[in-house]
Amino acid sequence: VADGEGEETPDPNEEHCWGHGTWDGTSCACEADWSGDDCSMTQFCDKRGTCYDCSYSSGLSTTAAECAKCDDSSSPRFMNTYGKCVRCSTSGGVRATADECAKCDDSSTPRVLLENGFCALESCGANQFRDASYGECASCSASYILIATAAECAKCDDSGTPRFMGTGGSCTSCSASYGVSATATECAKCDSSGTPRVLLENGYCVLESCGANQFQTTSGSCYSCSYSSGRPATAAECAKCDDSGTPRYMDGNYCRQCPTSLSSSVLNTQDKCESCHGTWNAGTQKCS
């Protein structure tokens, strides 16, 4: 009785949890394996026995029947093939059946079933493109390589961070530090970017110039002068490390890091010795 007026005090469990489970002030702890309406009309129960709003951001393990409670909500969800109930608005591609993917048709974020079985957003946002592997929407500014169709990669052409197609199907950022085999037309997409690229005679689209204390390999990738392993490069590129704190030397066609000790037997020629800022002793045939 509330305030002695003969009115019943509302039961929060009954009010919020439809008579099942316990209300903790934020959500319902529903009964595990409960098949009735233990959550509110805009909630579903996961396999741990907790009620979640249909708009909850993460995918949760539950039954198809529980997931279907969100069908008529403003935040519909669908079941993926691994038994998780996923929001239609989630950004990534998710494996699902055609029937489950179709549950998003009338939502504000409709999805489409790709040929590889991934249920993906019908369209990505501004300055985004869809990768071909999982159907995820990736930012044009993403630094990593993603496999995509030429049409999807071209969606970044007018963005502030354009990308170009490699001959192997890779959609690559113009700012990527590595060289990628590409056509002249694709490589030219980076001309007006903040990191213009050039096409080498060997067909690699590479940065026009590497950064400070870096050298470029014959395949067009930029490496720090302090990179520990040897990489194939020209003598001119290797010499760009001469004034760095970590000079390098040419060993055949490889640009290698100078050893920490100039007396190392590795520096057994005058060229190698002097490239590493050593002094060659013609009499002893040693570097110091």
Q: Which tokens in the block code for residue 5?
A: 């007026």
pLDDT score recorded for residue 19? 52
List average pLDDT for each run of 10 residues in the chain, which is 288 residues long: 52 57 68 56 78 88 91 93 94 92 95 92 90 89 90 94 94 92 96 93 92 93 94 96 95 95 91 95 92
pLDDT score recorded for residue 46? 83
pLDDT score recorded for residue 209? 87
Q: Does the pTM exceed 0.75?
A: no
Kindly write down the DSSP assignment for every residue of 207-272, as one continuous string: ESS--TTEEE-TTS-EEETT-SS-EE--HHHHGGGTTSSS-EEEETTEEEEPPS-TT-TT--SHHH
pLDDT score recorded for residue 78? 97
pLDDT score recorded for residue 4? 47
Q: Cα torsion for 202, 208, 212, 216, to the nearest 10°? A: 0
Q: Which tokens in the block code for residue 174?
A: 């113009």
pLDDT score recorded for residue 204? 93
Number of other residues whose CB lies within 10 A of the CB of residue 201: 5
Q: Which residues contact 56 (CB under 8 A, 6 or more apart)?
A: 87
